[in-house]
């Protein structure tokens, strides 16, 4: 029987590239995102190139009813048993906290935290019953530090890292692999949505910045190997390690300087 992976935020960026990586490795797919046209295009490409079954759900997963809808579609309409859950959907928002739109930030919390938690809660029991399964939560190196000028986004990713590591400890002896994929700056549509394209950091031709395809491949391999934290790139790994030894005031100041536009 073919294995099946569900990927949220699958229409662009890391989620899209993860879809192709899972398909190349023999997985059928359930792809969830808001953009129906883009999902249909990816579905056609994967079915033609890799001959995998692809189901699509065009839905904003941040809506309160969406996780239950997705769960019911998978079990009752598609009649599929899920082997891998990839909680990838998320977005960020740049600017001082007093200047940002609270509605967008609450929507960010709903997507980055609430939907991820809800989907995990819904799909985990069946994995436990089978005694096997994998969950990847896409976090960020941002989850290891406070983020001046992107305070809510960094905080949501800190939740994802902490939540994932706790689940890894709870579940690894029960046959469930739980991993946090923590990329650094990556070339995706995320930068436009978060209004980051004008940052000097993103303008620079820096080898800190990875492409979504390489991040997806590293993430897949890390998940298959049961790694609790997957950090693509040596410099990103070193950054996270150094944070353990630097004073908090210095970390916050350095992060602020990196996040400034000029």
pLDDT tens-digit map of 160-202: 999 999 999 999 999 999 999 999 886 666 555 545 555 555 5
State the pLDDT at residue 203: 52
Closest C-alpha among 255, 208, 251 to residue 231 = 208
Axis crossing angle, helix 102-109 with helix 151-171, rounded to the nearest 10:
10
Distances (CA, A) of 8 to 204, 224, 253: 30, 18, 34
* Better pLDDT: 210 or 133: 133
| Segment 6-17 mean pLDDT | 96
State the pLDDT at residue 148: 87
State the pLDDT at residue 230: 96
| Segment 196-216 mean pLDDT | 67
CATH number, domain with residue 122? 3.40.50.720
Task: List the single range of 15-19, 92-96, 194-198, 213-217 with lowest mean pLDDT.
Answer: 194-198
Positions marked catalytic:
153
**246 — pLDDT class (breaks 50, 70, 90):** low
State the pLDDT at residue 170: 97
Domain span at residue 180 reads: 3-259
**220 — pLDDT class (breaks 50, 70, 90):** very high
* Count of structural domains within the chain: 1
Distances (CA, A) of 180 to 46, 86, 162, 223: 25, 10, 9, 9
Q: Measured between alpha carbons, how far is 107 from 62 in angstroms, rounded to an integer? A: 7
**H or E stretch including 130?**
helix 116-130
Q: Measured between alpha carbons, how far is 106 from 113 in angstroms, rounded to an integer? A: 10
Q: Phi then psi for 57, rounded to 5 degrees? A: -130, 105
Long-range contacts of 55-60 (CB under 8 A, 24+ apart): 55/28, 55/29, 55/30, 55/31, 55/80, 56/30, 56/31, 56/32, 57/30, 57/31, 57/32, 58/33, 58/34, 59/32, 59/33, 59/34, 60/34
Q: Would the pLDDT of 241 be above 90?
A: no
Q: Phi then psi for 175, rounded to 5 degrees? A: 85, 10
Q: Exposed, middle or buried: residue 182 (CB in 10 Å: 0-12, 13-18, 19+)? A: buried
Q: How many residues does the chain have?
A: 262
Token pair of 229 as six digits: 């934290």
State the pLDDT at residue 146: 85
**H or E stretch including 229?**
strand 229-230
Judge whether 20 and 215 are in contact, CB under 8 Å. no
Token pair of 38 as six digits: 């883009």
State the pLDDT at residue 194: 45
**151 — pLDDT class (breaks 50, 70, 90):** very high
State the pLDDT at residue 208: 63
| Segment 119-140 mean pLDDT | 97
| Segment 14-34 mean pLDDT | 97
- 25-40 per-residue burial string, b: 16 or more CB within 10 A, e: under 16: eebbbbbbbeeeebbe
Judge whether 30 and 2 are in contact, CB under 8 Å. no
**54 — pLDDT class (breaks 50, 70, 90):** very high
State the pLDDT at residue 145: 84
Mean pLDDT of the chain: 89
Closest C-alpha among 49, 146, 25, 39 to residue 89 = 39
């Amino acid at each position: 029987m073919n294995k099946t992976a569900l990927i949220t935020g699958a229409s662009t960026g890391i989620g899209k590239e993860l879809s192709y990586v899972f398909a190349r490795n023999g997985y059928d797919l359930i792809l969830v995102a808001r953009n129906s046209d883009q999902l249909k295009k990816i579905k056609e490409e994967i079915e033609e190139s890799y001959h995998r079954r692809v189901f699509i759900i065009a839905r904003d997963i941040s809506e309160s009813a969406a996780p239950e809808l997705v769960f019911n579609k998978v079990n009752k309409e598609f009649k599929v048993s899920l082997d891998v859950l990839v909680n990838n959907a998320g977005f960020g928002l740049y600017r001082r906290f007093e200047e940002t739109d609270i509605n967008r930030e609450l929507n960010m919390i709903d997507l980055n935290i609430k939907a991820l938690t809800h989907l995990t809660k819904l799909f985990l029991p069946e994995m436990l019953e089978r005694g096997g399964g994998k969950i990847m939560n896409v976090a960020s190196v941002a989850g290891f530090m406070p983020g001046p000028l992107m305070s809510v986004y960094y905080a949501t990713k800190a939740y994802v890292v902490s939540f994932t590591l706790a689940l890894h400890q709870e579940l690894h002896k029960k046959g469930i692999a739980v991993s946090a994929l923590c990329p650094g700056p990556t070339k995706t549509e995320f930068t436009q949505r978060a209004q980051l394209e004008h940052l000097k950091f993103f303008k620079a031709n820096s080898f800190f910045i990875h492409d979504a395809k390489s991040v997806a491949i590293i993430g897949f391999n890390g998940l298959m190997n049961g790694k609790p934290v997957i950090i693509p790139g040596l410099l990103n790994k070193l950054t996270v390690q150094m944070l353990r030894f630097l004073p908090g005031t210095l970390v916050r100041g350095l992060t602020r300087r990196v996040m400034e536009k000029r």
